[in-house]
């Protein structure tokens, strides 16, 4: 997960940085650091990614069109 994917995933869920921080048990500053492109511990990035995936976000690798995110299931289900 990179900075852009984090921002995209938050937008897909309608979450602010504080929402993500609360759900991942990290500080809002940690989320801001990731989204600025700063290097975080791998375990922290995995904790954030796990929260997104549990909420239904799927991370798409850079397969010719750049990395991205999508919802595993529609939000209205």
Query: Contact, 69 vs 59, CB < 8 A?
Result: yes
User: Token digits for 31?
Assistant: 């989320």
**Tell me: the pLDDT tens digits for 17-71?**
999 999 999 999 999 999 999 999 999 999 999 999 999 999 988 776 778 888 8
**CA 10/CA 1 separation, integer angstroms:** 12
User: Token digits for 4?
Assistant: 């852009």
CATH of range 3-71; options 1.10.260.40, 3.40.50.10490, 3.20.19.10, 1.10.10.10: 1.10.260.40
What pTM value is reported for the model?
0.86
User: Token digits for 62?
Assistant: 């850079």
């Amino acid at each position: 997960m990179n900075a852009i994917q984090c921002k995209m995933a938050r937008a897909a869920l309608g979450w602010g940085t504080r929402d993500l921080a609360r759900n991942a048990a990290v500080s809002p500053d940690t989320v801001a650091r990731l989204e600025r492109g700063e290097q975080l511990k791998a375990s922290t990035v995995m904790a954030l990614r796990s929260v997104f995936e549990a909420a239904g976000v799927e991370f798409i690798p850079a397969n010719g069109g750049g990395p991205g995110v999508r919802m595993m299931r529609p939000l209205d289900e």
